Amino acid sequence: MQVPEGEVTAWRQTYESLPQWLKDLYRWARYPEFRVRNRVARAMKRCSSDTDRLRLAEFLVGRQFPELFYGDGPKLWCRDAAFRDWYLRCVEPINMRSMERKWFIRELLKLVAHVPGDTAECGVYEGATSQLICEGTQRNCGKTHFGFDSFEGLSQPESSDGSHWSTGDLTAPQELATALLQPYRATLLKGWIPDRFEEVADRRFSFVHLDVDLAAPTRQSLEFFYPRLNPGGILVCDDYGYETCPGAYEACNTFFSDKGEPWIHAPTGQGFVIRQPD
Ligand SMILES: C[S@@+](CC[C@H](N)C(=O)[O-])C[C@H]1O[C@@H](n2cnc3c(N)ncnc32)[C@H](O)[C@@H]1O
């Protein structure tokens, strides 16, 4: 790709404005790891502001994982104390890896506030996202939430799923989800997808969250829930944009190849569709 002259100048201007220690690091970035490491250690000592520390973190991430990057920051939503507190209590006390996805679900739920229909999650695990869905949809309305999970982990991957997952990964005891969902109108249906779908066959839905990592249960969930999704309803696939879940990506795109709705591929890795009227 040819870079227009203006953009080269803009980058040079940005580069010139960097502190000298960061310029040095960029110069050293093409040297072998052990030679850069000393420089990084020295740079760490010289970081005296949040901006400098963020730049150093950005440099390190870029060096170790060239395809990853830091977005612009800091962002307002990261400072939402109540949400952070909920995440650390109910999702993951150590890392924040799925925090942006959880936040995005929370925001998408606002779009279905006036769409009639119940809610569902395929792949409940410990229940955190199901709880988020109940919390976001059950105030002042009569929606019921249905959660489907083997509670024995993943089923058998097929060839399109690649090699990342194995049968039985991500097993969680049902009691955790049951406890988290106890204050809500929520029913957990334990079993292998699609065995228990028939029990909600007469229902319509406004929000469905698919998070089963593999092609077969993703495909079966789409086949069941898409025709039952009300216009304006949203279907989210948590696994849509992950390199670890190629089968789920393929299942989503194949199923929608003859449907009118486009998949929206979010930068969080999730994909979602908004159901259009027939
Ligand atoms: C990534 S976890 C779900 C995480 C959850 N949605 C959350 O946000 O916390 C995947 C779940 O899918 C379930 N699962 C995978 N394949 C399944 C299948 N074929 N039938 C039923 N459950 C399945 C696993 O037991 C596991 O709990």
Residue with tokens 């959660």: 147
Angle between helices 215-225 and 246-255 (to 10 degrees): 30
- HSE (side-chain half, CA atoms, 13 Å) at 108: 29
Please check whether residue 246 is in contact with residue 157, taking contact to mean a CB–CB distance below 8 angstroms: no
* Most ligand 1 atoms within 8 A of CB, residue of 100, 103, 124 to mutate: 124
Give the tens place of pLDDT for each residue, 142-160.
899 999 999 999 999 999 9
**129 Cβ below 6 A of ligand 1:** yes
Residue 194 confidence (pLDDT):
98
Positive or negative, the CA dihedral 151, 154, 156, 158 is positive
Domains of the chain: 5-64 (no CATH), 99-274 (3.40.50.150)
Angle between helices 99-111 and 128-137 (to 10 degrees): 30
Segment 121-149 shows an average pLDDT of: 95
Question: Could you tell me which of 109, 111, 196, 112 has the C-alpha nearest to residue 151?
Answer: 196
pTM over 0.85: yes
Please check whether residue 236 is in contact with residue 210, taking contact to mean a CB–CB distance below 8 angstroms: yes
Nearest CA to ligand 1 atom 2: 125
Nearest CA to ligand 1 atom 12: 123
Give the tens place of pLDDT for each residue, 19-45.
888 887 777 776 777 777 788 888 888
Nearest CA to ligand 1 atom 13: 123
